């Protein structure tokens, strides 16, 4: 059995695992019929976007190791007024329950071209978009960071893991990595 490497566009509402453990939520099994692969990291059920799936346990360990700082890029829809003060606080690192996040790259962007979400969002105030590049991945980190600076997260779409990008995939689709992508990925 050789190593397998896939990029998957996880839709909204899908668990980042192959079993639902009695939750009743859809899992990766609904979309991917490849035995013995696992997600290298997670996305919350209500987040969307790029997942790497592989049977290469060593690579998974390297990619999720917080000391490696593999950058992950997200497009984040927020409710609230985006200001330079909020962006600066976000970028410097946000204090969350006794932990301060690592500094990250963040910038305001215009509304990106994304597939419509299955469950539409109904905002109650001004809405904007951020591009956020994190070098760590704590549970629900972006949601906690936006809340800490006074913004409400409405939608999160991971668009990149390192240099691997989601372009060319639609929600629910997956594809094998190219040799070049695999070479870049293994350099992390």
Residues forming the active site: 44
- The candidate with the shortest Cα–Cα distance to 114, out of 72, 155, 53, is 155
3-class secondary-structure state, position 29: helix
**Cβ of 13: how many Cβ atoms within 10 Å?**
14
Spatial distance between the Cα atoms of 41 and 54, rounded to a whole number of angstroms? 11
**Cβ of 130: how many Cβ atoms within 10 Å?**
22
Tokens in use for 171? 């929600």
């Amino acid at each position: 059995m050789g190593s397998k490497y896939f990029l998957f566009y996880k839709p909204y509402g899908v668990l980042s695992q192959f079993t639902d453990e009695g939750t009743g939520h859809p899992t990766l099994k609904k979309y991917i019929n490849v035995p013995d692969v696992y997600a290298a990291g997670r996305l919350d059920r209500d987040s969307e976007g790029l997942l790497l799936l592989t049977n290469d346990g060593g690579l998974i360990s390297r990619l999720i190791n917080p000391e490696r700082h593999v950058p992950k890029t997200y497009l984040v829809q927020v409710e609230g007024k985006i200001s330079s003060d909020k962006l600066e606080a976000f970028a410097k690192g946000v204090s969350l329950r006794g932990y301060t996040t690592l500094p990250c790259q963040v910038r305001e962007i215009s509304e990106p071209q994304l597939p419509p979400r299955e469950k539409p969002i109904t905002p109650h105030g001004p809405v904007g978009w951020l591009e956020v590049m994190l070098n760590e991945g704590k549970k629900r980190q972006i949601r906690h960071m936006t809340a800490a600076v006074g913004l409400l997260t409405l939608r999160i779409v991971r668009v990149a893991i390192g240099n691997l990008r989601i372009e060319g995939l639609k929600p629910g689709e997956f594809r094998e990595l190219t040799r070049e992508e695999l070479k870049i990925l293994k350099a992390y």
